[in-house]
């Protein structure tokens, strides 16, 4: 055993020497079944992928925070969320329990032409929550004439003791028709533990790309960010999150590293090696991207919530989340 220990120590030293110069910084932290990774992408993108194994050591220590010290935001594609799913009480109970783990959830794939389901789901959340929740609901996306055959809605469900809305709108895609389903943009102020404005306002841009043109729409998100920043020069803190379909046959790591969304203005929290799907596929479809460190509010912890459910009847995507300092 002594010789084996010596060999492993030597191998570890070699790994440290090799990895030390890398400009991608990896932080791993474990909590139950979740691995948290913070990836700060480099300008040239030489290092394209890190595969977490669950045995890594921390590149730097994560802060030891209580849950009340952070605001936790998730993105969640609730697969074909319409009347049929809303009538399945067992599924709705699981979805409500899942949402209540967070302080805000950006939901994609709401499909109810009568638009009753998002309000019914809000009622179900409030029936189980100790705090009051509210939502901002988009218009039906797919506004352009060639996109109306497939329409859905986005929603931001949020705990009103943690967030207060400022404004929201669908992205105006009428000039270039860049998206099948226009991104939904919502700005919020974060409240401190006393319920007062913490002094931090930020903007969420949520997206559900069309799989067949996922890379085109991912690239176009850079235009959305630029347009928003030009119209709102005093708002530097933006999170672009949702179902990017950024993996497997829809988007290769090589294509992603050529995207304008991988320039030095952005921080990607979910690496290309992640798996955000419920089925046997292994794809990093769901992503969270920020403009820098969000004025120092970005904690660096994120997770794929694979422990809340395992049935594709609930969704074919797991929620993916990240933390902000309150």
Catalytic center residues: 152, 208
Cα(178)–Cα(221) distance, integer angstroms: 9
Cα(208)–Cα(231) distance, integer angstroms: 23
User: 153, 129, 128, 127: which is closest to 142 by C-alpha?
Assistant: 153
Cα(115)–Cα(119) distance, integer angstroms: 8
Look at the chain and count its residues.
326
162 in Cβ contact with 188 (< 8 Å):
no
Q: Nearest-5° angle of CA 101, CA 36, CA 304? A: 50
User: 187, 128, 198: which is closest to 162 by C-alpha?
Assistant: 198
Q: Any residues with CB less than 8 A from the CB of 100 and at least 6 apart, and which?
A: 125, 128, 129
Cα(88)–Cα(79) distance, integer angstroms: 14
Cα(232)–Cα(86) distance, integer angstroms: 37
Q: Any residues with CB less than 8 A from the CB of 170 and at least 6 apart, and which?
A: 138, 139, 141, 143, 182, 183, 184, 185
């Amino acid at each position: 055993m002594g010789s084996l220990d010596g060999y492993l120590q030597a191998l570890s030293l070699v790994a440290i020497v090799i990895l030390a110069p890398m400009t991608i910084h990896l932080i791993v932290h474990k909590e139950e079944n979740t691995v948290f990774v913070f990836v700060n992408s480099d300008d040239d993108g030489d290092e394209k992928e890190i595969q977490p194994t669950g045995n890594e050591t921390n590149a730097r220590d994560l802060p030891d925070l209580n849950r009340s010290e952070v605001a936790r935001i998730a993105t969640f594609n609730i697969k074909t969320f319409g009347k049929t799913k809303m009538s399945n009480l067992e599924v709705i109970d699981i979805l409500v329990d899942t949402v209540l783990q967070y302080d805000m959830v950006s939901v994609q794939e709401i499909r109810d032409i009568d638009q009753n389901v998002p309000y019914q789901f809000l009622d179900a959340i409030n029936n189980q929550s100790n705090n009051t929740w509210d939502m901002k609901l988009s218009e039906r996306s797919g506004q352009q004439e060639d996109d109306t055959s497939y329409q859905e809605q986005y929603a931001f469900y949020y705990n009103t003791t943690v967030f207060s809305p400022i404004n929201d709108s669908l992205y105006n895609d009428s000039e270039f028709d860049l998206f099948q389903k226009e991104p939904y943009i919502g700005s919020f102020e974060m409240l401190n533990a006393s319920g007062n404005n913490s002094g931090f306002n930020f903007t969420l841009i949520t997206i559900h790309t069309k799989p067949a043109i996922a890379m085109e729409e991912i690239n176009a998100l850079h235009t959305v960010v630029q347009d928003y920043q030009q119209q709102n020069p005093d708002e530097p803190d933006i999170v672009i999150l949702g179902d990017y379909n950024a993996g497997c046959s829809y988007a290769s790591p090589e294509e992603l590293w050529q995207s304008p969304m991988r320039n030095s203005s952005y921080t990607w929290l979910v690496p290309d090696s992640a798996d955000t799907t419920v089925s046997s596929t292994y794809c990093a479809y769901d992503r969270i991207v920020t403009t820098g460190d969000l004025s120092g509010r970005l904690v660096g912890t994120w997770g794929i919530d694979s422990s809340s459910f395992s049935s594709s009847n609930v969704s074919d995507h797991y929620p993916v989340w990240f933390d902000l300092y309150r």
